[in-house]
Amino acid sequence: MNERLNKGWFARPTLTVAKDLLGCVLVHKTPRGAISGTIVEVEAYCGVTDRACHTYGGRRSKRNDVMFGEAGHAYIYLIYGMYNCFNITSDTDDHPCAILIRALRPLSGIDLMRANSPKIRKENELCMGPGRLCRAMAITRKEYGLPLFDPASRLYVTGGDNVQKFQIVKSKRIGIDYAGKDAERLWRFSIKDDRCVSHAPA
């Protein structure tokens, strides 16, 4: 299963897509070479009824516009003035949802990751956390809206090894205390005991 994931794969219920992304491989073909990592931590943001989601209440803006389109596109935004966060749009067209990719286990192009993040010494920390991940992978808002399923796209996801065994840990999403009841939902998924997951199990 090293095929690029297709449009239909992303156009399924967001929680399903989020869990299935664990173990898949995110690839960015940059001018200097390909960079890739295995997805080990994600968070689901479930549309207009989820207070933590950028589309809560149907709010549509220039920033989140891509979430209102079809699944399988890159949703990238700036956080805290200096870091990018990479998400993948999911679900059906009338459900503006996305999945935040929070951590990867570096797989290839690790020398490029180190060049992008010279201050990070430990390999397992290169893509630990959404901001670091984007910096190491050279993902910026220039990649906003890219269709990941398009064979011509430089940014995409391939299926996992299919047979690989791991346990999925469910926990609360990070940094959304303002979301009231939705802050309690266990919509963060990670690979149990992986050394690249960004926060200890809740």
Partner DNA sequence: CCAAAGATCGTCT
Partner DNA sequence: GACGATCTTTGGA
Residues that bind DNA (CB under 7 A): 43, 45, 52-54, 59, 61-64, 75, 77-83, 85, 87, 98, 100, 117, 119-120, 128-133, 173-176, 178, 198
- Which CB sits closer to DNA, 92 or 151? 92
Report the first-to-last Cα separation within the chain, whole angstroms: 32
- Which CB sits closer to DNA, 148 or 176? 176
- Which CB sits closer to DNA, 121 or 165? 121
Q: Which residues pair with 38 in a beta bridge?
A: 25, 105
- Cβ count within 10 A of residue 71: 26
Q: Are 148 and 74 in contact (CB under 8 A)?
A: yes
Q: Supply the minimum distance, in Å, between the C-beta of residue 55 and DNA.
A: 7
- Nearest 5°: phi and psi at 75? -115, 110
- Which CB sits closer to DNA, 107 or 174? 174
- Which CB sits closer to DNA, 163 or 183? 183
- Which CB sits closer to DNA, 140 or 164? 140
Max Cα–Cα distance, the chain, nearest Å: 45
Residue 72's nearest CA partner among 162, 6, 164, 168 is 6
Q: Supply the minimum distance, in Å, between the C-beta of residue 163 and DNA.
A: 30
**Sign of the torsion formed by the C-alpha atoms of 147, 149, 151 and 154:** positive
Q: Are 141 and 76 in contact (CB under 8 A)?
A: yes
Q: Supply the minimum distance, in Å, between the C-beta of residue 176 and DNA.
A: 5
Q: Supply the minimum distance, in Å, between the C-beta of residue 166 and DNA.
A: 22
Q: Supply the minimum distance, in Å, between the C-beta of residue 151 and DNA.
A: 26
What Rg, from alpha-carbon coordinates, does the chain have? 16
Q: Supply the minimum distance, in Å, between the C-beta of residue 5 and DNA.
A: 19
Let me know the angle formed at the C-alpha of 139 by 105 and 61, rounded to the nearest 5 degrees.
120
